[in-house]
Amino acid sequence: MLLRFSVSNNLSIRDEQELSLVASSLADERSALRQSEGLPGTNILPCVVIYGANASGKSNIVASICSFRNMVISSHPRGETGARIRQTPFALDEVYFEGCALNMM
């Protein structure tokens, strides 16, 4: 079960952004929340919504989650120990290009 996902230096995302499915203490309706046997006392949201202004990076969060999913699915048959992860780094600040594998997709 994925409870938190964070990404940085990918596509239009420069600084770390986190998507969390852990409910805050402000949640009003407890009946809609889920529980996990492995994390007793932790309330989990059944779904999340990503919203924001046009060109704010919503699609790139979803693309990052899809890339993560593909890495997990294909890591055994295609992965190599110590191999670099393909990424498209944040392009508007040259500092973010340093030290990353420049495999532009």
Q: What is the pLDDT of residues 38-83, one digit of tens each?
A: 888 888 888 889 999 998 889 999 999 998 888 888 776 666 677 6
Q: The pTM is what?
A: 0.69
Q: Which residue has the higher pLDDT, 71 or 104?
A: 71
Separation CA 87–CA 24 (nearest Å):
32
pLDDT higher than threshold 60 for residue 105: no
Phi, psi of 47 (to 5 degrees): -160, 165
Q: In which residue are the tokens 């993560």 written?
A: 68
Domain ranges for the chain: 4-97
Q: Express each pLDDT in 6-40 by its tens digit.
A: 998 888 888 999 999 888 877 566 678 888 888 88
Nearest-angstrom CA–CA distance, 82 and 50: 33
pLDDT confidence tier of residue 104, bands split at 50, 70 and 90? very low
Q: In a 3-state reduction of DSSP, which class is residue 29?
A: coil
